[in-house]
Structure 1
């Protein structure tokens, strides 16, 4: 690794720092000047996103950075141009750098309202040590499980796998069940691979985000000591609460995007006069827009990587999740009188099976193409290395 490559991640970080300084400036200016000076924020923010390919290790960091910047931009736009937060208030003086910093990355709005206000107390040294030690142990556990178990899990269980086992045809499942008399019906091996892949996909998706959050909490609480432990609560809820698709997204999965995307969704809904249709219609439409914006944000990352097909799949994935969640809500609403027929723990087990079945169906449709492409690239690299070795051998007279 040369020196230029070693320092290349500084480039997107520097762009984000520039955008952060622009936020500090705009926060302390009148609203009319903010509107005119919007480019001084969005240009470096866009460059912070567009240069995410400079993050080469770990492999998933570039995508996480790109999505994080998109969410952050939505958060800043919400503060400055939707909520139009004033340049000073009772709790914040103008040009107060510390108060501006607290707004800068509070994407979840943890300090909003009395029920979520964060106590302004000093943190003892022992508390900081315990905070950092626990999170370091968590990072080590994540690394060990990911590298030595979940990443090689499928080859460990099933032996060598071929690219065709993850191609476009393998993404389909239901229509290839035996009673549909498909030309190539699903096999037991294919079904087992999908089961293991689904668990692996959920784990890797969770760890990518939570490990990044854990690392940043160590940096800002333990090393820089800019924040208190209370300002870095867990990103995810308990998996035990995810016995419906709605609860999977609302109770287990992180809520990082909810408030910034909701602010943007309300603007769109207002322009389309959706609130006039009633509270229920507006609520459903806002939920749809949040999922759509999430899909578009993921699609922007895929497009930046030059992967148009994956960008379309990203939007489709989140739209499918919304429509399945809406259908689930209608079914559960109409099945209310039946809930007394079985104890609650039985319904929860049925719910867990349903949630896993949904991911078993949808996760390969979203991720198999990427796995297939990576396997083909690896085979191409091996073939090139083999060809180069043979060519070198011939030149050497062997």
Structure 2
């Protein structure tokens, strides 16, 4: 990597640091002044998001940074303007920079780890820190090896050379092309196998992108800077064994970073629209819809910042479809409750796992195939251009 690749990430990091300092100032101002001074936070925070393209390595880091900044902004807005956290409380003195730092990045609201001043701090033992850092480094090593040597090249390794048309818009359609529907171009066995492997690959890469970033930051803030304890960096994800419904996939297995900040914004919007008057069930459904919708908007903003409006539309559709399917799933489980009581638990869970994997088998390619298809076309174009330049250079040299 060249010098520019190493230095350029300083730009968004500097903007984020400025926004963090602005949060510290706003946190210690009265509520009526926070609204007036809001631009001193939102302007550098937005620039921290808008400059995420400066992260050029690894390839997925720019998108992770962009999403993380948007979630972080939602958390700060929730703290300052929705929860209206007070200037001083029983657990936080005014202008206490350490307590402000604990609030700053506590997106999951791990309240039990926030500092109190009634109990003196206990010194951190060196041995647990060494064990924690070594464990986290080993986790990163496993992620790197598995991603680079297995999950990234797994499709060419298993199926040989693949062509762009195997990931085009037509390949996104599967169930409507089954022989049952007498499609003009029915699905093939090779296509099915590729789709199965791609689905597991997509789940793995989506998981690793987030958890590797979380693991790396835990090493920095715990092992290097010593600002946090290992307990303040609990696992981001739950057990995949809990994901035997799509709702549990999102609620029990997938990370909960967005839950508190997005739910706070959703509750504010619901109260403005008086959704609560429709009943608790309607309000709960509306809040879930808004959380998925906000998630879709955040992903779409990243795609738009990358200059990919088509992917932004796909992002919105993906999260809206997830909400719709979860709603249908909930009604189906309610109607099937008498039957489920008669069946053994292991059978219900096994059926649930099959259902969740079937959904991702259908949904993941629809969301990700366009990006794979476009990247393969760009790679072919780069190779053709390089080959053309090579031939042209040979002609000029008289060979």
**TM bucket by the smaller chain?**
over 0.9
Distance (Å, rounded) in 2 between the aligned partners of 1:139 and 1:166: 30
Question: Offset at 1:95?
Answer: 0.3
Question: Offset at 1:396?
Answer: 1.7
Once the two structures are superposed, what CA deviation does each residue of 1:202-260 show, in whole Å capped at 9, x if it has no partner?
00000000000000000000000000001000000001110100110011000000000
Matched residue SS, 2:57: coil
* Corresponding position of 1:338: 339
Question: Offset at 1:6?
Answer: 2.5
Is 1:35–2:44 an aligned residue pair? Answer: no
Matches within 5 A, 1:253-264: 253-264=254-265
* Corresponding position of 1:15: 15
* Corresponding position of 2:294: 293
Question: Offset at 1:389?
Answer: 1.1
TM-score after normalising by structure 2: 0.97
Structure 1's 57 and 119: CA in aligned 2 closer, same or farther, altered over 3 A? farther
Distance (Å, rounded) in 1 between the aligned partners of 2:186 and 2:284: 41
Is 1:84–2:84 an aligned residue pair? Answer: yes
Matches within 5 A, 1:9-158: 9-111=9-111, 121-158=122-159
Is 1:365–2:366 an aligned residue pair? Answer: yes
Structure 1's 23 and 189: CA in aligned 2 closer, same or farther, altered over 3 A? same
Matches within 5 A, 1:202-213: 202-213=203-214
Distance (Å, rounded) in 1 between the aligned partners of 2:247 and 2:289: 12
Distance (Å, rounded) in 1 between the aligned partners of 2:203 and 2:122: 37
Question: Offset at 1:121?
Answer: 3.8
* Corresponding position of 2:223: 222
* Corresponding position of 2:239: 238
Question: Offset at 1:341?
Answer: 2.9
- Mark the runs of 5 or more structure 1 residues left unpaired by the alignment: none
Distance (Å, rounded) in 2 between the aligned partners of 1:4 and 1:358: 42
Instruction: Indicate the RMSD between aligned Cα atoms, in angstroms.
Output: 1.4
Question: Offset at 1:301?
Answer: 0.1
Once the two structures are superposed, what CA deviation does each residue of 1:74-96 show, in whole Å capped at 9, x if it has no partner?
00000000001011111111000
Matches within 5 A, 1:381-392: 381-392=382-393
Distance (Å, rounded) in 1 between the aligned partners of 2:358 and 2:73: 35
Q: Matched residue pairs, number? A: 395
Once the two structures are superposed, what CA deviation does each residue of 1:116-140 show, in whole Å capped at 9, x if it has no partner?
xx99543210100000000000000
* Corresponding position of 2:272: 271
Matched residue SS, 1:170: coil
Distance (Å, rounded) in 1 between the aligned partners of 2:120 and 2:105: 18
Matched residue SS, 1:84: coil
Distance (Å, rounded) in 1 between the aligned partners of 2:131 and 2:96: 31
TM-score after normalising by structure 1: 0.97
Q: Which moved more, 1:357-366 or 1:4-13?
A: 4-13
* Corresponding position of 2:380: 379
Runs of 4 or more, structure 1, over 6 Å off, are none
Question: Offset at 1:393?
Answer: 1.3
Question: Offset at 1:179?
Answer: 1.4
* Corresponding position of 1:349: 350
Distance (Å, rounded) in 2 between the aligned partners of 1:70 and 1:223: 26
Matched residue SS, 1:362: helix
* Corresponding position of 1:310: 311
